[in-house]
Amino acid sequence: MSTGQANNENTLQATIEALVQPGKGILAADESEKTIAKRFQSVGVGSTVDNRRWYRSSIIAAPGLGDIVSGIIFFEETLTQRADDGTLLPALAAHNGIVAGVKVDKGKLPLSGTVGDEITQGLDGLAHRLTQYQRHGARFAKWRNVYHVTATSPSRLAIASNAEVLARYAAICQAQGMVPIVEPEVLMDGDHSIDRCAEITEAVVHEVFHALHRHGVALEYMLLKPNMVIAGKDHLTPSTPEEVATYTIRCFRRVVPAAVPSINFLSGGQTPIQATANLNALNSLSKQPWALTFSFGRALQEPALDAWRGDAANEEALQSALVRRAKLNGKALLGAYEQNMELLD
């Protein structure tokens, strides 16, 4: 092994150790401009550059957030933004004991040759962009591919093509000394059953790890960010936390190698309470070969947004709501969450 390779591995290992800590998860604050505009609109706030900057700096600075959150995923523009006192936001995160990361994909496109499937773009120039992100303080990256579920989707082409893209992204990240978060999301949209979600999730994740192996990705230096196995939002019978835990663990024990240090589940359309209850059920089962934690976006931020509503005078309430939600998920990591905790101050 060359000195450069050894230094690269040391860098990756240090980032993994910072991200994978008992009782902690990752906050996804990487909403695109289109997505965050919808979130802000729901609470009557315009999605201006300064509103986005102020809101994200406030959540990063929330007192106590670093006790539960080990990493935060930024949108690209956030890396160069500053808090009111002039501190760059990645530096503000580091000051609070939180590792800064960045979403690096460039969004979805229809996948040619299929009906309804999509593919994620952004590989061109990725290595150069990663170098720039590192200069701004980012130590890890995230890339999301999505899979629509119907009676005939996703197609075999979609499963194979998306896996190849995720693996190429991960290999480029590790070559640059950045830990990749690999996010294959089987969407919750639709009326499919939990059995159908399990079938598709197993096929998708199995294909992803085959592709990661082909591209020489070191599994010890990556994180997996998948969906939980859960019935579609429009299914007649919602999945119980116990069902979600049983199906999810059975699926991932079949297809996720033990070398992966952590599975950081996305919330994927679940409510904050639903996501926390399901995470708690997962951690109530017997110990698994990987850490089972969270990388939630809306399921962590929704109460904070509702407390803020665009008024800077509500900053303390915003931060308190965020940290409270994070602490409830911290309880879930221990299998110690109970729904009556939602009623407690």
Residues noted as catalytic: 183, 225
**CB of 146 within 8 A of CB of 187?**
yes
Q: Are β-strands 108-110 and 118-120 bridged in parallel, bridged antiparallel, or unpaired?
A: antiparallel
Task: Please give the C-alpha separations between residue 87 and each of 35, 57, 81, 94, 235, in angstroms, as whole numbers.
Answer: 26, 9, 8, 11, 47
**Helix 241-255 × helix 272-284 angle, to 10°:** 60
Gyration radius of the chain over CA positions: 19
* CA-closest candidate to residue 329, choices 53, 55, 23, 94: 23
Quick check: helix, strand or coil at residue 7? helix
The CA-based dihedral angle spanning residues 307, 309, 313, 315, taken in that order and rounded to the nearest 10 degrees: 50
Residue 269 zone, left/alpha/beta (φ > 0; ψ -120 to 50; rest) = left
